[in-house]
Copies of this chain bind each other. A is one copy, B any other.
């Protein structure tokens, strides 16, 4: 049995965030000492590691709640869990696509002032002001 601070150290999840997860129902309410402090065991540690890993992968709290729900009721869990992961993957791919377009435009905008040829009016500002200067949609 260890304290919330210890759990925080082991999982690298900040203390207030752990309490927040408990409030959101991702973690079951922890046992308490006589002095009302939370105490955790291996099960608590594992669940929090699961949550942290999923958060690192960009799953929303809601999606994680669904995954935990599935863990607790393992019938059919594999298909449903895969659905959630696939949706997450699609989301990530969409974000990558969009960011790549932005990268292209930002690279173009940034580069134009890069060399010695400092022009009178700022190309960065002009580019932002006038969408027509973009080479692509976004």
Which A residues have a C-beta under 8 Å from some C-beta of B?
46, 49-50, 53-54, 56-58, 67, 70-71, 74, 77-79, 81-82, 84-86, 88-89, 92-93, 95-96, 99-100, 102-103, 105-107, 109-110, 113-114, 118-119, 121-125, 128-129, 131, 138
Contact = CB atoms under 8 A, between A and B. Distances in A.
Contacts of A85: 106, 109-110, 124
Top 5 closest A-B pairs, CB basis? A78-B122, A81-B124, A82-B113, A89-B106, A85-B110
Summarize A's interface: helix, strand, loop or mixed.
Answer: helix
A54 B128 contact: yes
Contacts of A58: 102
Copy number in the complex reads 2
A88 B127 CA distance: 14
Contact of A92 (B50, B88, B103): B103
B57 A82 contact: no
